């Protein structure tokens, strides 16, 4: 996926991701980042907050896009400005995504 602009991630060193993305944004004078949501491969009870730390590091707004499989639609949603309170931010974002129906309902949080 690098030929498309994908950034390889070393999952054994997740702390490096935020710094690497911040450096890339500075070098390129801005980028667009798309991240898959938690729970796409298996059910999760707690979301990770790396995307919030990335948004804070590069001072950007999060544009939320929903995949509603039951209605067979992609929904261009609202923007979200991280507050720095990761727990509150995650709760607000999770509440936003509750309105969409996932492909495999058993994986929904």
Nearest to 21 by CA among 41, 40, 3, 5: 5
d(CA 44, CA 60): 26
Burial of 34 (0-12, 13-18, 19+ CB in 10 A): exposed
| pLDDT tens, residue by residue, 35-92 | 766 666 677 778 888 889 889 988 889 999 888 888 898 999 899 999 999 999 999 9
Structure-token pair, residue 6: 């994908």
pTM score, two decimals? 0.74
CB atoms within 10 A of CB 39: 17
């Amino acid at each position: 996926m690098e030929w498309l602009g994908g950034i390889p991630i070393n999952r054994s060193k997740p702390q490096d991701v935020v710094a690497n993305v911040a450096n890339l944004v500075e070098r390129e004078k801005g980028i667009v980042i798309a991240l898959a949501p938690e729970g796409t491969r298996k059910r999760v009870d707690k979301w990770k907050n790396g995307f919030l730390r990335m948004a804070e590091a590069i001072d950007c707004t999060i544009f939320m896009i929903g995949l509603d499989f039951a209605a067979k639609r992609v929904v261009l949603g609202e923007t979200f400005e991280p507050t720095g309170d990761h727990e509150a931010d995650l709760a607000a974002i999770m509440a936003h995504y509750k309105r969409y129906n996932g492909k495999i309902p058993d994986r929904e949080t």
